[in-house]
């Protein structure tokens, strides 16, 4: 962190963890710059009937790529917050890790919608019997499980609680 942009670190984390199709991040830099300067319009809604199926597919893929950039922008805060928690004391880590799990949960809903759109495009090229992976949901779920595991590994200061309270603490 500091030598690279956070967007690149998040994108690399997604690519290394779940290996999404290469076309999703092909024009990452160009789309990111364009989205920073303009607002996102509904490209799929303005399709002309004169376009070929291949042209429509290219437009849909570009739309998915821009939504992937927006997803990464929204995933920056929980990603950075998760890394910053490592520098805090143990009690603060516990409290903040519980909060960050909720943040990852809200990002997971956004990832589900993005994966559904990717599946829609991929189903046009495949038969209906092929199972398609959930790229972004898997990455968010992996990050969320990592945070949960970290929280459990921190443990609890059990001498502060009576034995009958241990089950409530772990809950």
What is the DSSP track for 46-88? Answer: G--TTS-HHHHHHHHHHHHHHHHHHHHHHHHHHHHHHHHHTTS
| Whole-number pLDDT of residue 40 | 46
Domain for residue 56, yes or no? Answer: yes
Domain for residue 53, yes or no? Answer: yes
**pTM, full prediction:** 0.75
Per-residue pLDDT reduced to its tens digit, 13-54: 999 999 888 888 887 777 777 767 765 454 444 444 456 777
Per-residue pLDDT reduced to its tens digit, 73-89: 999 999 999 999 999 98
Per-residue pLDDT reduced to its tens digit, 124-151: 666 666 678 899 999 999 999 999 999 8
Closest CA to 61 of 3, 114, 138, 108: 114
| Whole-number pLDDT of residue 111 | 95
Domain for residue 104, yes or no? Answer: yes
For residue 119, what are the domain limits? 6-170
Q: How many domains does the chain have?
A: 1
- Percentage of the chain surpassing pLDDT 90? 43
Domain for residue 1, yes or no? Answer: no
């Amino acid at each position: 962190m500091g030598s690279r942009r956070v967007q690149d670190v998040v994108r690399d984390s997604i690519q290394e963890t779940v290996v999404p199709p290469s076309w999703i991040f092909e024009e990452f830099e160009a789309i990111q710059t364009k989205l920073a300067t303009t607002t996102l319009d509904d490209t799929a809604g303005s399709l002309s009937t004169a376009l070929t199926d291949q042209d429509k597919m290219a437009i849909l893929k570009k739309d998915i790529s821009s939504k992937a950039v927006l997803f990464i922008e929204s995933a920056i805060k929980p990603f950075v917050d998760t890394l910053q928690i490592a520098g805090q004391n143990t009690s603060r880590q516990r409290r903040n890790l519980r909060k960050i799990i909720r943040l990852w949960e809200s990002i997971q809903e956004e990832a589900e919608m993005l994966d559904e759109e990717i599946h829609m495009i991929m189903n046009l090229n495949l038969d209906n019997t092929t199972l398609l992976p959930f790229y972004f949901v898997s990455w968010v779920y992996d990050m969320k499980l990592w945070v949960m595991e970290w929280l459990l590994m921190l443990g609890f200061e059990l001498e502060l609680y009576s034995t009958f309270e241990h089950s409530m603490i772990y809950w």
